[in-house]
């Protein structure tokens, strides 16, 4: 033993002894292996055999043996080596169990709530009904429809509108059922009117255009939905109809306004029993404003027969009355012309009972007679004699204007030829059973299956009437004759809507509805996909042809030629014809059609104008006017996510809400509160549904609904107030006063515009309000915005004020005024009906001392101080309510209204119906819950519709500190103004009191103002 190879403790420290130790191990292993094999018995023998087999196979004895031994050795090492506790493996890892690519997470505690499944099922997000099997079968080919749309003269763009539940969707259903394979319609029986009988679920037929989840749950249309189809008139000529079915609920009037923008003609649907209602009037007014032709469908004629049980002669009077009511509303519109008058013999009125599947015009009915009786007159000539005071004398077989002839009374031709046969058909089907009914029907050319005869009477009636009247060709006649085609209407629409130069190439192409001109599309609405993940834009092509993959410019509502911030470039990713439940993909569509575009919605918030990028130069661009609603969003709710970290989700949801609801406004208040402004309770309810379920899927807290207010002045400022700029080198003196009644409304409705030459503005005020011509000319601004109901005018005298300097700071003063008008001093709400007059201005000599930074705040402060010295008042919105109730409930209606500060303005029975019509005004803040209250008090017999009507001054002085407000007690009378102001201020995080000290620096002036206040 070599001592140098060992240390003092006897451990070996010499060179490695690899070979010898390996040999030793090897020999040990051999011995063990042999030993082990022997001990294994028959098994061991088997293994030996296998080994020898393998060896033979591998072809080398020594090689195979050494491999085997190496393996055995490794196993042995694995078995004998010491493994640390932490390296020990007790369980297989995830990869061994589940395969490669699986990640296993180990969590100390359960982070998932028990209510959530560990492996959640895949969620299908679907919020609207689509055709399940792609495109449905139709009586025409889709290619034919698209080709026909290429001929604008053969196209009609129609908006179907009317009061709530007057049967608009059912009218569209009738057109769909006559052109589409629609099993749902065939199965469903017509429902009884909702007031008389609740339908069984199996009977329930959903409108083809009611596709939104909520529309089906509530049985009311909420969104305007388009459909394009081909229909034939009485001569068999095909027309491509682009139809948009609009909601009838007053809260969704914005959808109607957007639809009217797309259309060339309005198809007004009126219930024959209810007649003209509040929303019918508003729709007519909006259509006249949009310069559309109006046609009428008097619907639910069956109610006169089955419900009111009127004799045919009285039914004629009721129908006539309904048409006259519509005519009188049209005639009352300022822009209406006598040519808009409606009458069945002119062909612009149809009669229908859409749930029983028929709709006819006099001409289509006359055609039946002419064909069946082989009459020697044209249907048009006969139709002229079927309405009005024309009587048919059967003995003489002539039509006469005189009722009695030779002592015999003749029947009115409409009653004789139309109503009586229809009544007889109703009587026949409802009273006879199959053995007698079948031959009678066969004689009329109505052939039914055996199964049809065992249906309930409503179902059978519909089968019979559907076959008897056939497809609604009379309706197509009416639309083709009385609604202008997109080519014929192009000039009117362009002149009415286009804001650009009317002599430009674009305007010329739009006027001629040219398919080869530059592309111009007016986008009015956006629709979410059925899973609400993306948006499509629906628009009308004014000129040019849109194709997929086309590069376009999208101009928003704020685009002007000087400010192109609101313009974006986009590529059309897809173009479709939108048919509510299905979309027909098209490679291109040309002027006059409606198109649904994909890929362009990114920058669109409400409406937009689309131009192509190639043919039009940027200087020629101008937008198509944004929608003008006569309604206003005054009801307000504040929203907040339950989990604060989910705020971004809510904000993105709010953006999407803004895209799909034309009139909704969302904004953040100074206090950080997110508020949504809508037109009414149902509107806000639907928004909350969409926000919670479709667009954000989070829990959201909602505050009680409140309303927005306006701030105004009741008197002229008590004294001239002045305000200094921060550097003390400029001084503006102003007074504030209320404007005459009607000025604010004229400004808002655009009857007077500041873009007019000053002389014209002066003349407007001179002729309408008896103003001095100079007073009109000195108007500087309306505000807030271009059409805000407040005014700033320059009443300085040239001798006292340096006019040149004042003109130089004009923009800054206007900005200060705009700011003040947007956020009033009482509770940060916009001002209304206030006129600010600049009486004098002392301005710094050098321009540097009178920059925007000095003048804007000074102008704002002096607006505020003059406002506060002019008896400031709060204004609240007031709703118009129309209530329909049976006579017995009228007193209950008065009681409910009385408890909510409402008062009745009109109360009379509705002619030709058992109902009473009550018209009333009710402050919007007290209107939430009114409908429920009314139903409760009248056992569900009264129906109401309400919409914003006007602004009204709240009683009381909001600044009167003497008013004692008791917490938890409702305020009344003169306390209201202060109560509303304080509550609004608190909600917005403002201090309780409005102090004028903030706006007046000069101590002397302040003393005088305070002494006035104390008086």
Ligand X SMILES: Nc1nc2c(ncn2[C@@H]2O[C@H](COP(=O)(O)OP(=O)(O)OP(=O)(O)O)[C@@H](O)[C@H]2O)c(=O)[nH]1
Q: What Rg value do the Cα atoms of the chain yield, rounded? A: 40
* The three-state (H, E, C) secondary structure of 66-109, written as one string: HHHHHHHHHHHHHHHCCCCHHHCCCCCCHHHHHCCCCCCCCCCC
157 binding partner (options Mg ion, ligand X, none; Cβ < 5 to 8 Å by kind): none
**Residue in the block written with tokens 């008791």:** 966
For Mg ion, give the closer residue by CB, 221 or 946. 221
For Mg ion, give the closer residue by CB, 172 or 422. 172
For Mg ion, give the closer residue by CB, 222 or 519. 222
Using CB under 6 A, which of 64, 146, 148, 166 touches ligand X? 166
Any residues with CB less than 8 A from the CB of 878 and at least 6 apart, and which? Answer: 921, 922, 923, 924, 948, 949, 950, 951, 952
If one asks whether residue 164 binds ligand X (CB under 6 A), the answer comes out as: yes
Interacting positions 329-388 with ligand X (CB under 6 A) = 353-356
Residue nearest ligand X, CB atom distance: 248
If one asks whether residue 246 binds Mg ion (CB under 5 A), the answer comes out as: no
For ligand X, give the closer residue by CB, 165 or 511. 165
Q: Reduce the DSSP state of residue 629 to 3 states and report it.
A: coil
Using CB under 6 A, which of 36, 60, 63, 194 touches ligand X? 194
Interacting positions 284-303 with ligand X (CB under 6 A) = 299-300, 302-303
Interacting positions 952-981 with Mg ion (CB under 5 A) = none
Q: How many residues bind ligand X (CB under 6 A)?
A: 25
Q: Residue 725 and residue 634: Cα distance in Å, rounded?
A: 35
User: Taking the complex as a whole, how short is the minimal distance between the CB of residue 206 and ligand X, in angstroms?
Assistant: 9
For Mg ion, give the closer residue by CB, 169 or 364. 169
232 binding partner (options ligand X, Mg ion, none; Cβ < 5 to 8 Å by kind): none
Using CB under 5 A, which of 138, 155, 178, 221 touches Mg ion? 221
Burial class (CB in 10 A: 0-12, 13-18, 19+), 999: buried
Token digits of residue 671: 């206090």
Q: Other CB atoms closer than 10 Å to residue 574's CB: what's the count?
A: 15
The region of 160-168, 439-447, 540-548, 898-906 touching Mg ion under the rule CB under 5 A is: 160-168
Using CB under 6 A, which of 226, 247, 598, 680 touches ligand X? 247
Q: List b or e across 964-994, with b for residues whose CB sees 16 or more CB atoms inside 10 angstroms.
A: eeeeeeebeeebbbbbbbbebbebbebeeeb
Helices (H) and strands (E) in the chain, counts: 34, 37
User: Taking the complex as a whole, how short is the minimal distance between the CB of residue 163 and ligand X, in angstroms?
Assistant: 7
For ligand X, give the closer residue by CB, 356 or 771. 356
Give the orientation angle of helix 278-289 with respect to helix 312-332, to 10 degrees. 50
Token digits of residue 880: 């118009």
Q: How many residues bind Mg ion (CB under 5 A)?
A: 3
User: Taking the complex as a whole, how short is the minimal distance between the CB of residue 248 and ligand X, in angstroms?
Assistant: 2
**Residue in the block written with tokens 């503006």:** 732
DSSP 692: I
User: Taking the complex as a whole, how short is the minimal distance between the CB of residue 693 and ligand X, in angstroms?
Assistant: 21
For Mg ion, give the closer residue by CB, 279 or 730. 279
Q: Residue 647 and residue 281: Cα distance in Å, rounded?
A: 41
DSSP 181: -
What is the widest separation between alpha-carbon atoms in the chain?
Answer: 159
Using CB under 6 A, which of 136, 248, 762, 788 touches ligand X? 248
For Mg ion, give the closer residue by CB, 248 or 517. 248
Using CB under 6 A, which of 170, 296, 487, 546 touches ligand X? 170
473 binding partner (options Mg ion, ligand X, none; Cβ < 5 to 8 Å by kind): none
Q: Residue 569 and residue 553: Cα distance in Å, rounded?
A: 5
Residue nearest Mg ion, CB atom distance: 221
With CA atoms as reference, report the closest residue to 630 among 227, 902, 334: 334
User: Taking the complex as a whole, how short is the minimal distance between the CB of residue 805 and ligand X, in angstroms?
Assistant: 59
If one asks whether residue 528 binds ligand X (CB under 6 A), the answer comes out as: no
Using CB under 5 A, which of 169, 543, 593, 854 touches Mg ion? 169
For ligand X, give the closer residue by CB, 355 or 833. 355
Q: Residue 981 and residue 874: Cα distance in Å, rounded?
A: 8
If one asks whether residue 540 binds ligand X (CB under 6 A), the answer comes out as: no
Question: Mask: binding to ligand X, 197-216, rule CB under 6 A, as x and -?
Answer: ----------x---------
User: Taking the complex as a whole, how short is the minimal distance between the CB of residue 326 and ligand X, in angstroms?
Assistant: 16
Question: Mask: binding to ligand X, 457-496, rule CB under 6 A, as x and -?
Answer: ----------------------------------------
**Is residue 231 within 8 Å of 472, Cβ to Cβ?**
yes
302 binding partner (options ligand X, Mg ion, none; Cβ < 5 to 8 Å by kind): ligand X
Q: Residue 230 and residue 141: Cα distance in Å, rounded?
A: 9
DSSP string, 528-585: E-TTSSSEEEEEEEEESEEETT-EEEEE-TT-BTTB-TTEEEEE--EEEEEETTEEEE
Query: Residues interacting with ligand X, by CB under 6 A?
Result: 162, 164-170, 191, 193-194, 207, 220-221, 247-249, 299-300, 302-303, 353-356
Q: Summarize as ranges the residues that interact with Mg ion (CB under 5 A).
A: 168-169, 221
């Amino acid at each position: 033993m070599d001592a140098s190879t060992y240390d003092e403790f006897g451990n070996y420290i010499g060179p490695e002894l690899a070979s010898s130790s390996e040999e030793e191990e090897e020999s040990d292993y051999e011995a063990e292996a042999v030993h082990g094999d022997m001990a294994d018995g028959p098994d061991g023998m088997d293994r030996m055999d296998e080994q020898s087999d393998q060896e033979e196979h591998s072809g080398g004895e020594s090689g195979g043996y050494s491999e085997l031994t190496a393996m055995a050795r490794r196993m042995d090492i694995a078995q004998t080596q010491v493994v640390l506790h932490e390296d020990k493996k007790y369980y297989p890892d995830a990869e061994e169990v589940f395969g490669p690519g699986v990640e296993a997470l180990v969590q100390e505690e359960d982070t998932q709530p028990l209510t959530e499944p560990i492996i959640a099922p895949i969620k299908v997000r679907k919020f609207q009904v689509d055709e399940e099997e792609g495109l449905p079968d139709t009586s025409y080919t889709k290619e034919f429809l698209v080709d026909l749309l290429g001929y604008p003269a053969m196209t009609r763009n129609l908006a179907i509108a009317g009061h709530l539940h007057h049967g608009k969707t059912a009218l569209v259903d009738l057109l769909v059922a006559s052109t589409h394979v629609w099993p749902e319609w065939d199965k469903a029986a017509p429902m009884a009117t909702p007031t008389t009988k609740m339908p069984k679920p199996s009977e329930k037929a959903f409108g083809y255009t009611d596709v939104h989840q909520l529309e089906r749950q509530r049985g009311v249309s909420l969104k305007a939905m388009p459909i394009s189809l081909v229909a034939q008139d009485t001569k068999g000529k095909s027309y491509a109809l682009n139809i948009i079915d609009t909601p009838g609920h007053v809260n969704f009037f914005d959808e109607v306004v957007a639809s009217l923008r797309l259309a060339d003609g309005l198809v007004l649907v009126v219930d024959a029993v209810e007649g003209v209602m509040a929303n019918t009037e508003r729709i007519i007014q909006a259509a006249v404003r949009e310069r559309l032709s109006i046609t009428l469908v008097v619907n639910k004629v069956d109610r006169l027969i089955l419900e009111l049980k009127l004799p045919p002669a009285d039914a004629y009077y009721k129908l006539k009355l309904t048409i006259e009511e519509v005519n009188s509303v049209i005639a009352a519109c300022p822009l209406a012309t006598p040519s808009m008058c409606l009458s069945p013999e002119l062909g612009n009125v149809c009669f229908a009972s859409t749930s029983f599947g028929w709709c006819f015009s006099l001409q289509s009915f006359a055609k039946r007679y002419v064909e069946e009786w082989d009459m020697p007159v044209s249907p048009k000539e006969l139709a002229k004699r079927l309405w009005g005071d024309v009587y048919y004398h059967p003995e003489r077989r002539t039509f006469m204007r005189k009722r009695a002839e030779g002592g015999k009374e003749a029947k009115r031709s409409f009653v004789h030829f139309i109503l009586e046969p229809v009544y007889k058909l109703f009587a026949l089907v409802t009273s006879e059973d199959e053995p007698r009914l079948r031959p009678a029907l066969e004689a009329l050319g109505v052939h039914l299956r055996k199964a049809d005869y065992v249906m309930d009477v409503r179902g059978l009636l519909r089968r019979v009437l559907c076959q008897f009247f056939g497809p609604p060709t009379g309706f197509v006649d009416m639309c083709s004759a009385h609604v202008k085609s997109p080519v014929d209407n192009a000039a009117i629409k362009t002149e009415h809507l286009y804001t650009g130069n009317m002599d430009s190439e674009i305007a010329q192409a739009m006027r001629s509805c040219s398919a080869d001109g530059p592309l111009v599309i007016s986008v009015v609405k956006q629709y979410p996909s059925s899973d609400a993940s993306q948006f499509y834009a629906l628009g009308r092509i004014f000129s040019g042809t849109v194709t997929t993959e086309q590069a376009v410019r999208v101009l928003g509502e704020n685009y002007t030629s000087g400010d192109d911030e609101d313009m974006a470039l986009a590529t059309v990713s897809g173009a479709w014809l939108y048919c509510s439940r299905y979309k027909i993909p098209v490679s291109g569509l040309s002027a006059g059609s409606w198109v649904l575009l994909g890929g362009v919605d990114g920058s669109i918030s409400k409406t937009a104008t689309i131009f192509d990028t190639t043919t039009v130069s940027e200087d020629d661009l101008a937008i198509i006017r944004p929608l003008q609603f006569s309604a206003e969003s005054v009801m307000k709710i504040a929203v907040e996510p339950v989990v604060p970290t989910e705020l971004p989700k809510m904000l993105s949801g709010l953006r999407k809400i803004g895209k799909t609801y034309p009139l909704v406004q969302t904004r953040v208040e100074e206090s950080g509160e997110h508020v949504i402004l809508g037109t009414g309770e149902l509107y806000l309810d639907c928004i909350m549904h969409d926000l919670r379920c479709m667009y954000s899927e989070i829990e959201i807290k909602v505050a009680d609904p409140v309303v927005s207010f306006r701030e105004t002045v009741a008197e002229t400022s008590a004294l001239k107030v002045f305000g200094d700029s921060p550097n003390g080198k400029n001084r503006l003196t102003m007074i504030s006063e209320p404007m005459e009644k009607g000025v604010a409304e004229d400004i808002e409705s655009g009857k007077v515009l500041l873009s007019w030459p000053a002389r014209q503005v002066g003349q407007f005020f001179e002729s309408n309000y008896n103003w001095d011509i100079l007073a009109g000319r000195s108007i500087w601004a309306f505000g807030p915005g271009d059409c805000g109901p407040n005014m700033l005018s320059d009443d300085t005298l040239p001798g006292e004020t340096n006019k040149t300097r004042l003109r130089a700071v004009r923009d800054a003063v206007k900005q200060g005024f705009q700011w003040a008008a947007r956020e009033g001093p009482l509770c940060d709400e916009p001002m209304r009906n206030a006129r600010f007059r600049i009486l004098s201005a002392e301005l710094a000599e050098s321009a540097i001392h009178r920059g925007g930074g000095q003048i804007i705040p000074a102008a704002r402060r002096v607006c505020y101080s003059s406002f506060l010295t002019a008896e400031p008042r709060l204004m609240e919105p007031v709703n118009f309510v129309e209530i329909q109730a049976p006579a017995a409930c009228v007193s209950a209606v008065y009681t409910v209204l009385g408890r909510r500060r409402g008062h009745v303005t009109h109360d009379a029975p509705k002619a030709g119906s058992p109902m009473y019509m009550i018209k009333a005004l009710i402050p919007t803040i007290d209107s939430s819950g009114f409908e429920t209250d009314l139903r409760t008090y009248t056992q569900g017999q009264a129906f109401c519709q309400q919409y914003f009507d006007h602004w009204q001054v709240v009683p009381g002085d909001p600044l009167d500190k003497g008013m004692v407000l008791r917490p938890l007690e409702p305020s009344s009378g003169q306390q209201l103004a202060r109560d509303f102001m304080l509550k609004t201020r608190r909600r917005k995080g403002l201090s309780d009191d409005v102090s004028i000290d903030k706006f007046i620096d000069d101590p002397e002036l302040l003393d005088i103002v305070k002494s006035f206040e104390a008086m």
